Structure 1
Amino acid sequence: MIPDLSQLLSSLPPTTLPSGRLVEPEDGGPAPYWLSDAPPDLELWARLRSRHPESGLWPLLLTGLSSDERRPWVAGEVSPADMSSPEQHDVAELLARWWAGCATTDEDGGSAVTAPFGQDWPGLATPGDQAEPPDQLADECAEFLVDGRTRLGLVPAVRGADTLAVAGWSGPTNHTGDAGEISAVLRSWEDRFGVRVVGVGFATLYVSVAAPPTTTGHALAVAAEHFAFCPDNVWQGAETLAAYADQLLGAHSWSFWWD
């Protein structure tokens, strides 16, 4: 059940928030998030992130579709009632299932794309070595995402990974129609790589990464998870897993886009 957002918002100190409103889903139901009317100042995301343990509200930097900025956040084009709980999913099994579907499709051009693994799922990557404080790094990442189109969103969630399921985000619908699955993977990445969810668009996702891979072998294992999670990052980007892995070495932010 989604907590009473009005009550959670009222617990914030006066003058904390700019003007904004609760957004209800188009198909009805309680509002799953609050949305600012205008782009936030650069420091507001960090202040709200630091208050999350007390407020229960995780901040997101939200952007709309380039051809229609009302979609999905302003228009409430979300379906929280259709999303599962992240706790229902085994991440290793989930990624293995997605890998099997992606690694055997004709679209990837054969096993050269997924070399050195071919069609064999390599399993979950080992945790990274945390070199940066995750929350501080998330604050720095947020500063780079604020622009003239960005809105501030507040979602009632115990952890940032859960916000996509709670909000009812449907960005990866051509890959999975259940944001609860996406949130489950993000929970695992929070634990293993110090990931924090920072920005979400119509079908894009931006996270900060405190413990990225720093060796080629580890980067390949992480790249395999990314390919299962968001194959378009490879299919319509680096084109091969090996080339994509090179991009992940030491990278303190990850971005995803689903076609």
Structure 2
Amino acid sequence: MTNPPSPPSLPNPPSLSNPSKTQNPLSVLADDPQGRALGLELPPGALIDRPGGRSRSRLRTKARPEPLLWVSDAPVGIGALAACRGPALAAAGLQAVLFQERTGLECWWVRDELSPASMSDPDDHHVEPVLREFWAGVVPDPEEGEGPDGAGLIAPFGRDWPGLAEHRTPQEDPEAVALALADGLIRDGVLPNPRLALVPAGRGADVPTAMGWRGPVNHENDTALISTVLRSWEDRFGARVIALGFDELHLSVAAPLPTRTAALPVAAEHFAFCPDNVWQGSGSVRAYADEAVTGSGYWGFWWD
């Protein structure tokens, strides 16, 4: 009698110790609040599980949502960002930035202001069409005349999108520039009481989208488009996100624009990205290029 054929071998079941879902890199802080497993020595802080929520490690349960970000309990000083912002943290999938408060908007990150679920993915967008659309939405109508609210606002450019500014190669390490600027902004009182924050994101430009930041909501409510532009500035000018406020964004620039001629196309990008910098600031793209872009290693933005 012939023995029946052996049944086909089946693959081993997946190990329960290796779930398919990637663990949130902030989860380690629930049991390791100082981040020593990440090579850090964090100050006291809290995990923010969802918009408007806080979580200490003793309160965490499997039923709670994954942490969205971590924020220090108290303001930090010079050197705090440099102490934790490095290759090891980035390799763990985290980005360190500063959060800036202001009177009436203390702890804005727990005021139901964050909306990560409403953002698209920066990978789905490209910088040129994003800025072209922004530009079309903010340039004045020809019927408004040639004054500060007309063509003079965007001179020497016209209503057509002028295109991207040319790439510039940084002469210094962008991260070193970022950390030096962060300390300078704290020292000079531009960031008077910053909190240290950790956000799960693959690169600094993606931090605003990953945390669901809505600072530019009066200009653009999908922050992924903001991150798309920030990615391009990272690549073209060595820009780095160093701080966010309720409606403000602070960047370092490792390849500043040395002349007005080089700065003007970048000023046009800034106007498209954050028109309030010009509308309620310099008054024209040309003046803004002179005052805020030419030779500057710091770009600051705020949306009214």
**Which bracket does the TM-score occupy, shorter chain normalised?**
over 0.9
- List alignment gaps of at least 5 residues for structure 2: 1-21, 30-34, 54-64
Once residues 69 and 94 of structure 1 are traced to their aligned partners in structure 2, the CA distance between those partners, rounded to angstroms, is 32
> Who is 1:7 aligned against?
28
Q: Any conservation in 2 of the 1:35–1:74 contact (CA below 8 Å)?
A: no
Shift of 1:158: 1.1
> Who is 2:151 aligned against?
111
Shift of 1:108: 6.3
> Who is 1:137 aligned against?
177
- List alignment gaps of at least 5 residues for structure 1: none
Identity across matched positions, percent = 46
The range that moved more, 225-234 or 45-54, is 45-54
- Give CA-to-partner distance per residue, 1:158-194, whole Å, 9 cap, x none: 1100000001000000000111111110000000000
Compare relative contact order (CA 8 Å, sep 6+) and give the higher one, 1 or 2: 1
> Who is 1:38 aligned against?
74
Shift of 1:225: 0.3
- Give CA-to-partner distance per residue, 1:101-145, whole Å, 9 cap, x none: 100356961110000112121100001231221010001011133
Is residue 288 of structure 2 the alignment partner of residue 251 of structure 1?
no
**Pairs within 5 Å for 1:15-54:** 16-26=41-51, 29-50=65-86, 51-54=88-91
Shift of 1:36: 0.3
Q: Any conservation in 1 of the 2:120–2:224 contact (CA below 8 Å)?
A: yes
Aligned length: 257
> Who is 1:85 aligned against?
121
- Choose from 220, 223, 241 the match for 2:264: 220
SS of residue matched to 1:104: coil
Q: Any conservation in 1 of the 2:199–2:210 contact (CA below 8 Å)?
A: yes
Change (3 A) 1:184 1:108: farther
SS of residue matched to 1:11: helix
Largest Rg, 1 or 2: 2
Change (3 A) 1:140 1:41: same
Once residues 53 and 69 of structure 1 are traced to their aligned partners in structure 2, the CA distance between those partners, rounded to angstroms, is 28
SS of residue matched to 1:113: helix
RMSD of equivalent CA atoms = 2.1
The residue type paired with residue 104 of structure 2 is S
- Choose from 44, 49, 61 the match for 2:98: 61
The residue type paired with residue 59 of structure 1 is A
Once residues 2 and 122 of structure 1 are traced to their aligned partners in structure 2, the CA distance between those partners, rounded to angstroms, is 43
TM-score by length of 2: 0.79
